[in-house]
Amino acid sequence: MAVAIEKLNRLGLNRDDYKGAHTTLCAGCGHNSITNHIVKALYDSAIEPHLIAKMSGIGCSSKAAAYFVEHAHGFNGAHGRMPSLATGAKLANRDLVVFGVSGDGDTASIGLGQYCHMIRRNLDMTYIIENNGVYGLTKGQSSATADLGSRPKRGPANRYEQIDISALAIELGASFVARSFSGDGKQLVPLIQAALAHRGTGVLDVISPCVTFNDHEGSTKSYAYVKDHDAPVNTPDYIAPLEEITVDYEPGTGQDVELHDGSHILLRKIGPDHDARDRMAAMRLLFEARQSGEIVTGLLYVNPEADDLCTREALTSRPLAQLPVEELRPSREQWDALMAGLA
């Protein structure tokens, strides 16, 4: 009798061990695709579930931290404040594998300061931005990563320049920056694994279409706006069950992706000729892609030599949280000498 044998990873765990609670996000949401890729990456990399600290801020994206690795501690903090909470957690216990999920509102607006300073300190964590250019939970306002001229569900078109969080990260001296697309598991899973392996902040800027509020007419300038006027227009209180968008294309090539509302984005996968150790080349790639209305995906920049926060702070190898108080107090002799000096 044939029994289906579950495939186990190096730790003897199967993929289900990395799953979490059922998603409450909209069907077809790019964030759910990313969650599946996170599960696969953590499973493939055989990370001890109990050592994972799942961190998030506030927003649709930040809910996702509950949807993977049920047996890991999670912290759904406050809007834009995840980097500081993650910094504290890592300092307290440097054995933790700190894994953060944020969104474009959480990272590029309310949390932009903390995002910048996390990168500056090179906190050892994986930091995924589920980037859809829109505030989903508050029903469709433009975010700071929305393209100039794109139109939210209600209200005027976005009049302001977008903040490119990948370019910003590189400018700030990030040690690992990649951009990907929620539907591209073939590219995203290895990138997450690489970020996990990297000792420093692994920034993953993942374009993740919002099925409900993604109404960015002309979000990429070079491709004509295409829209099926007969398609049901989603209202905030009725979410049509939509399929997730997936892509599969080769490095060095481009792919036109139609989003749920009929608009298009053009992804361009970084080819083998790009030297990811070259910071200037990474910036050039991002700027050139923006000029041509494309979204360049892949590993943009990596510097494996950059010291992470715990190294810079010369932290002891044992977790601070586990040091007994006796090791933290001066000796009685030291104390008496200190007091004598004050007399």
Partner 1 sequence: MTGDVLNDFCIQAATVNGSGSQSSNLVITKALHHMGIPVAAKNVFPSNIEGQPTWYDIRVTPQGYQARKRTVDILIAMNPATWERDVANVRPGGAVIHEAALPRFGAADRDDVSWYPVPFARLAREKLEAKPDLRKYLQNMIYVGVLAELIGLDPAAVEQGVRDQFRTKPKAADLNLAAVQIGVDYTRENLVKTDPFRVAPMDGTRGTVLLDGNRAAALGSLMAGCTVLAWYPITPSSSLCEAFIDYAERYRVDAATGERRFAAIQAEDELAAIGIVLGAEWAGARAMTATSGPGISLMAELTGLGYYAEIPAVIFDIQRVGPSTGLPTRTMQGDLSFVHTLSHGDTRHPVLLPGTVLEVYEDAQRSFDVADRLQTPVFVLSDLDLGMNLWMTAPLPYTERAVDRGKVLDAEALEQVTEWARYRDVDGDGIPYRTLPGTANPRAAYFTRGSGHDEQALYTEDPDVYAANVDRLRRKIEGARTLLPAPLVEEAGNRVAICAYGSTHHAVVEARHQLADHGVETDYLRIRGLPLHPAVAEFIARHDRVYVAEQNRDGQMEALLRQELPGELADRLRSIRHFNGVPIDAEAISDPVLAGEQAQREPAEHQAVDAHRVPVA
Q: Which two tokens stand for residue 71?
A: 């047996």
Q: Which of residues 9, 23, 84, 303 is near partner 1 by CB under 8 A?
A: 84
**Comparison of 241 and 324: residue with beta carbon closer to partner 1:** 324
Rounded to 10°, the helix 185-197/30-44 angle is 50
Site for partner 1 in 294-313 (CB under 8 A): 313
Residue found by looking up tokens 């493939």 in the block: 44
User: Does the footprint of partner 1 cover residue 93 (CB under 8 A)?
Assistant: yes
User: Does the footprint of partner 1 cover residue 237 (CB under 8 A)?
Assistant: no
**Comparison of 10 and 154: residue with beta carbon closer to partner 1:** 10
User: Does the footprint of partner 1 cover residue 89 (CB under 8 A)?
Assistant: yes
> Quick one: DSSP state of residue 256?
E
Query: Least Å distance between CB 9 and partner 1?
Result: 16
User: Does the footprint of partner 1 cover residue 329 (CB under 8 A)?
Assistant: yes
Strand segments, DSSP code E, in 69-149 are 73-76, 97-103, 125-131, 134-135, 141-142
CA distance 113 to 90: 19
Q: Which of residues 50, 154, 277, 284 is near partner 1 by CB under 8 A?
A: 50
Query: Least Å distance between CB 113 and partner 1?
Result: 6
User: Does the footprint of partner 1 cover residue 218 (CB under 8 A)?
Assistant: no
| Secondary structure class of 106 (helix, strand, coil) | helix
Decide: 183 and 33 in contact? Cβ < 8 Å: yes
Residue 80 CB coordination number (10 Å): 24
Phi, psi (rounded to 5 degrees) for 267: -95, 140
Decide: 29 and 103 in contact? Cβ < 8 Å: no
Query: Least Å distance between CB 37 and partner 1?
Result: 20
| Secondary structure class of 102 (helix, strand, coil) | strand
Query: Least Å distance between CB 316 and partner 1?
Result: 4
Q: Which of residues 29, 64, 66, 128 is near partner 1 by CB under 8 A?
A: 66
Pairing of strands 52-56, 73-76: parallel
**Comparison of 10 and 50: residue with beta carbon closer to partner 1:** 50
User: Does the footprint of partner 1 cover residue 252 (CB under 8 A)?
Assistant: no
CA distance 189 to 35: 10
User: Does the footprint of partner 1 cover residue 226 (CB under 8 A)?
Assistant: no
Nearest-5° Cα angle at 263, 259 to 267: 65
Q: Which of residues 19, 81, 221, 290 is near partner 1 by CB under 8 A?
A: 81
Residue found by looking up tokens 């910094």 in the block: 87
Query: Least Å distance between CB 221 and partner 1?
Result: 35
CA distance 136 to 219: 17
User: Does the footprint of partner 1 cover residue 53 (CB under 8 A)?
Assistant: yes
Part in contact with partner 1 (CB under 8 A); list of ranges 48-56, 191-199, 240-248, 277-285? 48-56
> Would you mind telling me the total number of residues written for the chain in this entry?
343
User: Does the footprint of partner 1 cover residue 203 (CB under 8 A)?
Assistant: no
295 Cβ contact list (under 8 Å, min separation 6): 179, 181, 207, 220, 265, 266, 267, 268, 289
Site for partner 1 in 109-148 (CB under 8 A): 113-114, 116-117, 121
Decide: 65 and 101 in contact? Cβ < 8 Å: yes
Q: Which of residues 45, 61, 87, 142 is near partner 1 by CB under 8 A?
A: 87
User: Does the footprint of partner 1 cover residue 85 (CB under 8 A)?
Assistant: yes
**Comparison of 41 and 123: residue with beta carbon closer to partner 1:** 123
Q: Which two tokens stand for residue 24?
A: 């409450």
**Comparison of 73 and 186: residue with beta carbon closer to partner 1:** 73
User: Does the footprint of partner 1 cover residue 88 (CB under 8 A)?
Assistant: yes
Positions that interact with partner 1 (CB under 8 A): 49-51, 53-54, 65-66, 70-78, 81, 83-93, 95-96, 113-114, 116-117, 121, 313-317, 319-323, 325, 327-330, 332, 334-336, 339, 341-343
